[in-house]
A and B are shown apart, each in its own frame.
Chain A
């Protein structure tokens, strides 16, 4: 079926079954490949996108459930929190293989957008669903603190 999708500031018409996970529409139909597939069952966070600003696991989010909401992917995040998170990630060279990092970054932006000064415990609680097989967690924590400082400055 034809579905109108508001994504990254544009409205796109896509052809997909109602139950198709948003992830696959974004990747295969819209060719935005920054959002990753890691597990398909909401347990790794690689596929995290923002729906009306809230981080969501797109691998279990049916495209038909998006409705009028705005979808934002890693390719288009641009809030001050997003810029700070990306800058902090680059400054501290968080990435290793990088495959989980779009999802980590989307979650971290979500965290800083709701909690400008998170503690280590806040970070662990919020980021617990984003797995990184390369175990870059120590730098993820540090980069979130760094981004928080950048935003404050």
Chain B
């Protein structure tokens, strides 16, 4: 998957031409630098810029990750600013172009996901900053005829004795030097920005003044707007279509079958005309390969598979049914079946992108692009262009929650098909409506799980038999090799098979098959396993007659770092929430703890029940251990957001089907969490010197079970089939 782009072009188009010192990494991962030409370093090797400093002393950090709200533009900038000791207002941020060498070091290609942005960039961006600093210091020392170690640099000013100058004055001389291979990085004790509370977000101003540009806001010359009429059933293909009176819609341009028969592209001179004209188009679909099942059938198929012998023996312990039988016959035992619905991501910005022809005979994609490593070669292949003729310009993305990271690059493929169908001379802007989004597939898969647990004489879990049926996300996709081993898609059982709890587990897995495309949804398999694990731990604690916190701690060995961190957040959340295990009148408290993406999060949720039996979610207390919190306020924001996103889904969201057609049309049928639902959230961050891990997703898995356990404490209702509202739970 080799992609490349003309880097000189990129620097031109980003207006960074006045940059005089450019520092980055070359293809072999070594530090490199040059002056503003920037396509090659002093050894004439091509390299990718990470930091650019212009002669007025303004520093621009290029982020290889996109910004969907998770705070990367602030985070990566902090790393560079820290090593360069910059004044925060002196640093700007820009999105890197699509290029293979802007790899996410966690997955070997350019892309954002899996809560990896800070973790994989932590050393790299600091090195880029430290190298730039070192070169500037050496350049100043040369100019002043002093020793480099007498030169200090702070807030963009270099000084040594009576000598003083702005970093901008030395960029030219610095660019002539070679970067050292391993610049010294600051020690934690010297951090001023990393870990500093309330460092303002880099994107706040633009996003509060209507000036932040999302792909939805892009308009290029000679552009038409496109909507797509798609098969109502997954797997259906276009047979034929009638334009009806689409032509009577003002602004209608044309309608064409997509070359891959995935639908009809409707072209118009405005978004509204493209939306309106689509209503006049009728199509005939070939449904021979389509899925016509409804949700009830799917649920019963999941249940049948759950009852049958699992395909994969994940833990290699043999006969699962025998373990279940033994566990169920123990004096104290617990068993439960869980069912999770399909979920849509529904990012606030409906999917869209713009493709335009370039002067060089290639094409340029404008997109809130999450996976350039997939999208770039995909577009090149379909357009039959060499990869270097494809450019991607990245914009702020109005949320993703996993939806934009798509192994099939689904909406980009639609856009390029629509672009080619029109002849490849006009720019096209593909716009999805919310209806398209909710019906558009790539859902969080359903999952059915069953656990049978016995409690031994010591009051601890003696046996835990677990079976899972889920549609694999990774099989058949580009990341299959990373995720699937001996048939087992790790993401179908993550959070169970690798739980930090010391549990004697036997796990079986069966895949569910369907032409309906499924996708990772914020926290992937943990969005389900967090729920099953932590509801079950509560049930087991009750069967053992133990306090839920004490019971969990009894299954952790705190001499092991992983388990100590897990126990640490559990205790912290319990303490901060005033957990005392005592029943409260008309109220309930629930706790849950889960590890995902190498971060540890515990959450306590407090609910109250009104006189009509409706639940209010009053308060959430979160504790997180994510290693060093680079931007504590961003960590808090991500915890608040992941908690809210998770709660909304668990409370009331599901995508359902009737005869293969999605029932939910727009937000009223897939009601998002509202401000009225949002509890007061308190986030406590564990002080740490360990390398940072992610925070975009780990706040989600404990939210659902903490709420469910709180509802159980308040009402005695134990809910294992989601969403909660389909079990008669109402929220005030």
Task: Indicate if the CB atoms of A75 and B209 lie closer than 8 Å.
Answer: yes
Task: Indicate if the CB atoms of A95 and B208 lie closer than 8 Å.
Answer: yes
A139 to B209: give the CA distance in the assembly, Å. Answer: 17
Contact partner of A93 (CB less than 8 A), chosen from B204, B398, B400, is: B204
B interface, by DSSP: helix, strand, loop or mixed? loop
Residues of A within 8 A of B633 (CB): 93
- Given A97-B397, A137-B675 in contact, is the A43-B640 Cβ separation under 8 Å? no
User: Does chain B have a CB within 8 A of A12?
Assistant: no
User: Does chain B have a CB within 8 A of A71?
Assistant: no
Q: How far is the CB of B72 from chain A (nearest CB, A)?
A: 11
Contact partner of A134 (CB less than 8 A), chosen from B208, B250, B645, is: B645
Q: Which residue of A lies closest to B269 (CB)?
A: A28
Residues of B within 8 A of A124 (CB): 675-676
Q: How far is the CB of A7 from chain B (nearest CB, A)?
A: 13
Residues of A within 8 A of B272 (CB): 20-21, 24, 28
User: Does chain A have a CB within 8 A of B59?
Assistant: no
Task: Give the contacts of A19-70 with B (CB-CB under 8 A).
Answer: 20-21, 24, 27-29, 31-41, 43-44, 46
Interface string of B55-95 (1 = CB under 8 A from A): 00000000000011111000000000000000000000000
Residues of B within 8 A of A36 (CB): 214, 216, 348-349, 398
Task: Indicate if the CB atoms of A35 and B667 lie closer than 8 Å.
Answer: no
Task: Indicate if the CB atoms of B640 and A97 lie closer than 8 Å.
Answer: no
Task: Indicate if the CB atoms of A89 and B667 lie closer than 8 Å.
Answer: no
Q: How far is the CB of A73 from chain B (nearest CB, A)?
A: 7
Number of interface residues, chain A, beta carbon within 8 A: 55
A60 to B293: give the CA distance in the assembly, Å. Answer: 34
- Given A73-B210, A90-B205 in contact, is the A37-B645 Cβ separation under 8 Å? no
Residues of A within 8 A of B71 (CB): 96
Which of A32, A40, A98, A99 counts the most B-chain CB atoms under 10 A from its CB? Answer: A98
Which of A34, A124, A140, A141 counts the most B-chain CB atoms under 10 A from its CB? Answer: A34
Nearest 5 CB-CB pairs, A to B?
Answer: A34-B210, A135-B644, A99-B398, A98-B207, A97-B69
Besides A41-B667, A138-B644, 19 more A-B contacts (Cβ < 8 Å) are: A27-B271, A31-B219, A33-B210, A34-B211, A38-B350, A38-B434, A43-B668, A44-B434, A44-B672, A90-B200, A97-B397, A97-B400, A98-B203, A99-B214, A100-B348, A101-B207, A135-B648, A139-B640, A140-B675
A: residues with CB less than 8 A from B are 17, 20-21, 24, 27-29, 31-41, 43-44, 46, 73-75, 86, 89-90, 93-102, 105, 123-125, 127-128, 130-141
Q: List 19 A-B contacts (CB under 8 A).
A: A36-B216, A36-B348, A41-B667, A43-B667, A44-B348, A74-B209, A90-B208, A95-B208, A96-B637, A98-B203, A98-B206, A128-B676, A131-B673, A134-B69, A135-B642, A137-B673, A137-B674, A140-B675, A141-B675
